[in-house]
Chains A and B, each alone.
Chain A
Amino acid sequence: MSAPTLDRPVPDETALQQQFDATIAADHRIEPRDWMPEGYRKGLIRQIAQHAHSEIIGMQPEGDWLLAAPSLRRKAILLAKVQDEAGHGLYLYSAAETLGADRADLTDKLIERKQKYSSIFNYPTPTYADVGVIGWLVDGAAICNQVPLCRSSYGPYARAMIRVCKEESFHQRQGYELLMTMMRGTDAQRAMVQDAVDRWWWPSLMMFGPPDDDSPNSAQSMAWGVKRHSNDELRQRFVDMSVPQAEVLGVTLPDPELALDPETGRYRFGAIDWSEFKQVLAGNGPCNDERIARRRAARDDNAWVTEAATAYADKHAADKHAAVSA
């Protein structure tokens, strides 16, 4: 008996592309099983992996304070936050895996510096005020960037971002609350907060990426609904949000040109030093080597653990109850 012939026509690429375009145009979601253009898939893997790497590398600057947090309450808050970041990395790597990427391979690309992560995490955290300022400004900037991604055209990414944003918003409040407490403390604590704000303000503005007229991947990402607002638009939103918060806190933002434009109701701010951004992006920031070295050590020093887990799983694939329920 011969196999039945499939009388269903194989859709040609043009039809698939039309269907994809229609989904995007209708502001509906693309799901893993749907056809998608190769450029869309690759671009998304690049973006999601970079985002996942940022979460994982982002554990380090604050993680450096876990062992020396100044009170048990602060230690609990910080440990929970760093744990959340590991969780965000997990959701995001999982979202990338729905596009055919492999987590171990993406981790290798991070360690071999073939994929990037947010440059903000290449700055050091010399005092405990840095923990608060990272929460307030860095997480605040991340939220401005990420909230629009909750409407990304790619379903798994959009859903991951909803959860990530809720937790980030909580972290931002915790950071700000720490700074408020420190500002009500000693002179030394107030000086620490101001110093940390001075160091993180400009790098936070750079988190939105290059200006719109110098952003190579933006146009296509906007057209595909992967990205929703331009870099400059989001940066402006962040400045408008942060200035009143700085006033409540009682710190000065390190920009003499910062002023409210009475006509637009928005804040004008000084020119960003993009040469610094490019230096850090090129791997010449204060902590680039250290951040990657720690990821490399975690992978290499513990490779035997992963090998053992795989060997055990292979040996016991048939066992239904491998674990002890002692």
Chain B
Amino acid sequence: MAHEETVYEALDHAHGGEGQWAFGTGFDEPLAGVDTTVPEGIDPADLGAYCLMLGDDALVLCQRLTQWVTNAPELEEEVALANCGLDLLGQARLLLARAGSVGVLGRSRERATASIPDEDALAYFRDPDEFRHSGLVEAPNGDFGQTVVRLLAASAWRLALFARLRESRDPVLAAIAAKGVPELTYHRDHAARWVLRLGDGTPESHRRTQAGVDAVWLLLADLSTATDVETRLTAAGVAVDPAELTDEVRDVLTLVLERATLTVPEWPTPQPSRGRAGEHSAEFTELLTELQSTAREHPAATW
């Protein structure tokens, strides 16, 4: 009885018109209250460019995972995939805000109204060739098997990276990485459990998942070679050379795939990253057009 009355009472409190009526949904910008000073000896332009790479990886994979919501195989999976998407979205917001805080906004700031926060200027007012995510995250989902194989690969790689970035000389990046580690541990575990079930499930699920593995493996090449920004920042103690991650990522993926009775393809030959250079597929343009559609249709609006 008491509970019932409380809920009704809460509903009636619409008076005052105060903007803070919904609590808990984060009215502050992601880095509000954080000291964003860049430590001595770190090039802010490089730091911002690096945060864009990692932020874009998270934003694009979030968008891909969100495409499953209302289409997933089980209700539990609706919840789980949305959860992974939310974690990645949170990481993206922090990393884009970090890029903005060091002035790396490109042309987005000219296109976005002043009232739009940096994170949104970067997400909604950059063109496709200004995005810096890897080819691994932008590829279309494929079926559920390919989706969980990609999630496994992407989260194994990102977890290996974030675990090391906790020691980054940029304290903001280090803190973002520390927050991300438990999230990515869950994503990797969740994806690994599905790869096991599907690889070692029925002949059909085995066939589909093997096809997913073969497709995803080719995309790993885009993550294997350091860009100039990553090389410089690695030397400055801010970033990690992606080549350093290869052994750990390969070991984790091999362990899961072998247990799942799947064939481990040959590791792809390293090549310069196309995604990090802003070269993306037509499917990415399609994904980005949808993501930006409402914001660009109402450039002067506040949300």
Contact = CB atoms under 8 A, between A and B. Distances in A.
A56 to B, nearest CB: 7
B11 A244 contact: no
Interface residues of A, number: 79
B4 to A, nearest CB: 5
Interface stretch (B16-24, B174-182, B216-224, B229-237): B16-24
A294 B17 contact: no
B67 interface: yes
Interface residues of B, number: 77
A151 B256 contact: no
Given A174-B22, A186-B298, A67 B290 contact: yes
Contacts of A169: 7, 10-11
Given A56-B75, A79-B85, A80-B86, A305 B302 contact: no
B7 A165 contact: yes
Contacts of A222: none
Nearest to A291: B70
Interface string B285-298: 00000110111001
Nearest to B4: A147
Nearest to B198: A308
A208 interface: no
Given A180-B17, A324-B192, A304 B82 contact: no
23 contacts: A66-B69, A71-B295, A76-B26, A79-B82, A79-B85, A82-B82, A86-B75, A89-B75, A90-B75, A147-B4, A177-B21, A180-B17, A181-B303, A186-B300, A241-B8, A249-B14, A304-B208, A305-B198, A307-B201, A307-B204, A308-B198, A312-B198, A313-B197
Interface of B: 1, 3-4, 7-8, 10-12, 14-17, 19, 21-26, 59, 63, 66-67, 69-76, 78-79, 82-83, 85-86, 89-90, 92-93, 96, 116-117, 119-120, 123-124, 144-145, 188-189, 192-193, 196-198, 200-202, 204-205, 208, 252, 255-256, 259, 290-291, 293-295, 298, 300-303
Given A83-B78, A173-B22, 10 more contacts: A65-B294, A67-B291, A73-B93, A76-B93, A128-B303, A151-B4, A248-B15, A302-B73, A304-B204, A308-B197
